[in-house]
Homo-oligomer: A and B are copies of this chain.
Amino acid sequence: MQPLAGYGVSKVLESGHSDYKKGDLVWGFTKWEEFSLVSPTLLFKIEHTDVPLSYYTGILGMPGMTAYAGFFELGSPKKGENVFVSAASGAVGQLVGQFAKLTGCYVVGSAGSKEKVDLLKNKLGFNEAFNYKEESDLDATLKKYFPEGIDIYFENVGGKTLDAVLLNMRVHGRIPICGMVSQYNLTQPEGVTNLPNIIFKRVRMEAFFVNDFYHLYPKFLEFLLPYIKEGKILYLEDLAEGLENGPKALVGLFSGRNVGKQVLVVAHD
């Protein structure tokens, strides 16, 4: 039996690689186990320890880099632009929204519960947020929040949401595609019928994979660490304690129960 794989923070106990020595903290693709043998591929040494170490599984790790690369590199945001984020209270979405605000954009998020919508509006600084499950006409909802249209849609869900967004993009709009989570478990994917709309609006849609952007990691830390230390960016985590509670935490992700990045604490330093 193989342990599950996932992003984690670890302390080096022994190393055969010249870049890593005993006592170093690292983050990267590790396993759900107390002691791991990991390869240095896609492993990052943790240089800044004046922030919670759990942040390296989230805001300072893969989800943070995903939000950063998708929003800044693919989204090319400009001050004053209109940004829409789906799955906006998720590990990536909550950061995209805050990056958009820091850039001087107007940002609206969608999420799947009243609690999450409240968080977006009252804690995370989104201009507006709505519960997509309560909207019967997403096109009309988007027209209400974006009477002038959307410049950047950060795409996490696909399907019906994307189809409504395509009716509401502005000229030269950008759609960085991070995921289409609504489509993955369907036996028959929903058809997107509004693609021809992107022609007269000259829209760019681009799917990306965070691994193609890790060369930006130092620039990303330089950008983000000051905001974290000054409290100008919040990051919601849902901490569970003990490897034995891992399965329960994992299941919670699929019921939409947890709020913020789910982190499992295997051991304290």
A179 to B197, CA, bound (A): 10
A199-231 interface (Cβ within 8 A of B): 199-209, 212
**A204 and B206 contacting across the interface, CB-CB below 8 Å:** yes
| Alpha-carbon distance between A189 and B193 when the two chains are bound, in angstroms | 6
Name the residue on B nearest A184 (C-beta): B196
List the B side residues contacting A193 at CB < 8 Å. 188-192
Q: Give the distance to chain B from A213, nearest Cβ to Cβ, in Å.
A: 11
Chain B residues contacting A204 (CB-CB under 8 Å) are 204-207
- Do B212 and A207 touch across chains, with their CB atoms under 8 A apart? no
Q: Give the contacting residue for A158; candidates B190, B195, B203, B209; CB below 8 A.
A: B195
B208 touches A180 (CB 8 A): no
A177 CB–B CB distance under 8 Å = yes
Q: How far is the CA of A190 from the CA of B209 in the complex (A)?
A: 29
- Among A177, A190, A196, A212, the most chain B Cβ lie within 10 Å of the Cβ of A196
Knowing A195-B192, A196-B180, the reply to whether A205 touches B206 (Cβ < 8 A) is: yes
Q: A191-B192, A192-B191 are in contact. Are A179 and B199 (CB under 8 A)?
A: yes
Across the interface, do B191 and A202 meet the contact criterion of CB distance under 8 Å?
no
Contacts of A188 in B (CB 8 A): 193
CB distance from A172 to the nearest CB of B (A): 8
Question: Out of B184, B202, B207, which one reaches A198, CB within 8 Å?
Answer: B207
B residues less than 8 Å from A212 (CB atoms) = 202
A158 to B, closest residue via Cβ? B196
Which interface residue of A179, A188, A189, A201 has the most chain B CB atoms within 10 A? A189
CA distance A71 to B207 in the complex (A): 19
Bound Cα distance from A196 to B192, whole angstroms: 10
Contact A194–B198 (Cβ < 8 Å): no
Which residues of chain A in 36-69 are interfacial with respect to chain B, using CB atoms and an 8 Å cutoff? none
Picked from B162, B191, B207, the residue with its CB within 8 Å of the CB of A199 is B207
Q: Would you give 11 A-B contacts (Cβ < 8 Å), ordered by A?
A: A158-B195, A188-B193, A189-B194, A190-B191, A191-B191, A192-B192, A192-B193, A198-B205, A203-B207, A204-B204, A205-B206
* Closest 9 A/B residue pairs (Cβ): A191-B191, A204-B206, A198-B207, A205-B205, A180-B196, A199-B207, A183-B196, A191-B193, A189-B193
